[in-house]
Amino acid sequence: MNKKIQYITQEERLNKISENPGFRILEEQNLLEGNFLILTDEPAPTQEVISIYQDISHEELNNLAVRIEGIENTTDILLLKQEGIL
């Protein structure tokens, strides 16, 4: 079941949420006609999470960290050049 509840202030918004235990916010509308909470008692949809683990050696991890640091440094230099600082 869904409920559409109008509120004016943020305090009133929080009160409306706490007055409706067992409901979650499905949508919030901030329109010219007013502010509305759309609440539902339906459970949130679940997503199946698939974890993939890959073994990586300490050496490979360090090499990746060095490459990332090099990319970050290059990006910083390019930004400084673009701003006219270098």
Query: Rounded to whole angstroms, how far apart are CA atoms 16 and 18?
Result: 6
Joined tokens for residue 59: 């050496």
Does some domain include residue 82? yes
State CA 85 to chain mean position distance.
34
In the chain, the number of structural domains is 2
Q: Can you give the pTM of this predicted structure?
A: 0.53
Q: Residue 27: beta bridge partners?
A: 38
Domain identity same for 35 and 6: yes
State CA 47 to chain mean position distance.
16
Does some domain include residue 45? no
Domain identity same for 32 and 58: no
Per residue in 57-80, pLDDT (tens digit) is: 888 889 999 999 999 999 988 888
Closest CA to 29 of 3, 1, 6, 2: 6
Range of the domain at 8: 2-40
Domain identity same for 36 and 63: no
- Fill in the amino acid letter for 9: T
Domain identity same for 36 and 58: no
Per residue in 13-48, pLDDT (tens digit) is: 999 999 999 999 999 999 999 999 999 999 888 777
Does some domain include residue 34? yes
